[in-house]
Amino acid sequence: MRLVVDLNRCQGYAQCAFLAPDVFTLYGDEALLYDPHADEAQREHVLRAARACPVQAIAVDERVEEEGARHGG
């Protein structure tokens, strides 16, 4: 699964790092490092983290067709 965090919004509350520690980790006191391509098995954890984020900075894909993978015209 794919995800992206708007790190302009992120304020380092670290709720995600508690709820999905395999995907989100703090780097130092408040910088966030995350795996933008988390294992599908993490989906429930990641969705919980996204819902719990106080600044709603986590965006997760919605299982759309990966149409962009096709090359050329």
Partner 1 sequence: MAVDGYLAALRREGRIVIVGASLAGLRAAETLREEGFTGSLTLIGDEPYEPYDRPPLSKQVLLGRTTAEHTALPRYEALDAQWRLGVAATGLDMSAKRVRLADGDEVEYDRLLIATGVRARPWFHPQEAELDGVCVLRTRDDAAALHRRLATGPRRVLVIGAGFTGSEIASACRARELPVTVVERGAAPLVGALGKVVGEVAAALQRAHGVDLRCGVMVTGLEGDPAGRLRYAHLSDGSTVDTDLAVICLGATRNTEWLTGSGLAAGPRGIACDAGCRAFDVRGIVTDDVFVAGDVARSPHPLFGYQFLSLEHWGNAVAQARTAAHNMVSSSAERRPHLWVPAFWSAQFGVNIKSVGVPSMGEQVLVAQGSLAERRFTGVYGYQGRVIAAVTFDQTKWLEFYERLIESAAPFPPPFRTVDRRVEGLEPVDAGFPDPSLPTHGPTVTVSGYSPVDRRITFTPARA
Q: Smallest distance, Å, CB 14 to partner 1?
A: 12
Structure-block tokens of residue 37? 């391509």
Whole-angstrom Cα distance, residue 56 to residue 24?
Answer: 14
Q: Which residues bind partner 1 (CB under 8 A)?
A: 1-4, 6-8, 10-12, 25, 27-37, 59-62, 64-73
Closest CB to partner 1 among residues 29, 41: 29
Whether residue 2 contacts residue 65, with contact meaning beta carbons closer than 8 Å, is answered with no
Closest CB to partner 1 among residues 3, 19: 3
